[in-house]
């Protein structure tokens, strides 16, 4: 399968160019069908998360514009990406991830880690999806190279996975969703700051 091939290739490339360190992998749920939300700066963090949790496969949300070219769309689909309309999110945006979660798949969402309105919407969407699917959402953060040049320089690739936020009790009201979204946002930012400040224990 294409996903397995690229996950193994990414692992090999990352490890050959320098340190590829993952902390908190034990926080990944044993049960299937959960959401993982990771900070996002470039394409490298998407690949790193996929490689870091392999053999677990992640189904990634990606903006629909990336699928407009036939070859690109086919490739993205082959590595478990699916299109979403970020500019006009609606009930249709929830359909695919909910179907995947109910089939026991893992859904990955990549807010940038900022507090911008678009990223707040993505985080709230991640919480809403997990709540509707009655599952958990796992916060994660990436710190490392953001380009091919930086990747080839051997800069360490650091990934930190936090404790799951349990939403298995089901659908929440507006205030509860807002509180959990804030919790997710602050946790992701804290994980990223820990990586930036060299507090990740496995680097020592």
Beta bridge partners of 137: 35, 165
Helix (H) or strand (E) segment spanning residue 179: helix 174-196
For residue 65, give both structure tokens. Answer: 């514009």
Cα-atom radius of gyration of the chain, to the nearest Å? Answer: 16
Dihedral angle, C-alpha 140, 145, 146, 152, nearest 10 °:
-140
Task: Profile the chain (204 residues) by mean pLDDT over runs of 10 residues.
Answer: 90 83 93 92 89 93 84 90 74 85 94 53 83 94 85 84 91 84 91 80 46
pLDDT number for residue 137: 95
Q: Of the candidates 147, 133, 152, 163, which has an alpha carbon nearest to the alpha carbon of residue 59? A: 133
User: Is residue 204 helix, strand or coil?
Assistant: coil
CA distance 99 to 94: 9
Beta bridge partners of 109: 37
Q: Which domains does the chain have, with CATH numbers?
A: 1-202 (3.40.1130.10)
CA distance 88 to 105: 25
Q: Of the candidates 38, 53, 19, 15, which has an alpha carbon nearest to the alpha carbon of residue 204? A: 19
CA distance 59 to 82: 7
Task: Say what the pTM is.
Answer: 0.86
Q: Of the candidates 30, 34, 25, which has an alpha carbon nearest to the alpha carbon of residue 105? A: 34
């Amino acid at each position: 399968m294409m996903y397995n091939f690229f996950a193994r290739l990414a692992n090999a490339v990352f490890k050959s160019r320098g340190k590829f360190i993952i902390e908190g992998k034990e926080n990944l749920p044993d049960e299937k069908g959960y959401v993982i939300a990771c900070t996002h700066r470039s394409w490298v963090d998407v690949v790193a998360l996929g490689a870091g949790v392999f053999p677990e496969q992640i189904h990634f949300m990606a903006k629909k514009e990336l699928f407009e070219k036939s070859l690109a769309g086919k490739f993205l689909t082959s590595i478990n990406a699916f299109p979403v309309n970020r500019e006009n999110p609606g009930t249709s945006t929830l359909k695919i991830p909910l179907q995947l979660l109910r089939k026991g798949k893992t859904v990955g969402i990549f807010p940038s880690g900022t507090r911008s309105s678009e990223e707040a919407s993505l985080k709230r969407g991640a919480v809403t999806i997990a709540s509707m699917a009655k599952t958990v959402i796992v916060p994660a953060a990436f710190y490392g190279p953001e380009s091919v040049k930086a990747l080839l320089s051997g800069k360490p690739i650091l990934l930190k996975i936090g404790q799951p936020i349990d939403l298995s009790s089901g659908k929440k009201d507006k205030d509860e969703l807002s509180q959990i979204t804030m919790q997710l946002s602050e946790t992701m930012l804290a994980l990223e700051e820990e990586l930036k400040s060299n507090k990740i224990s496995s680097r020592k």
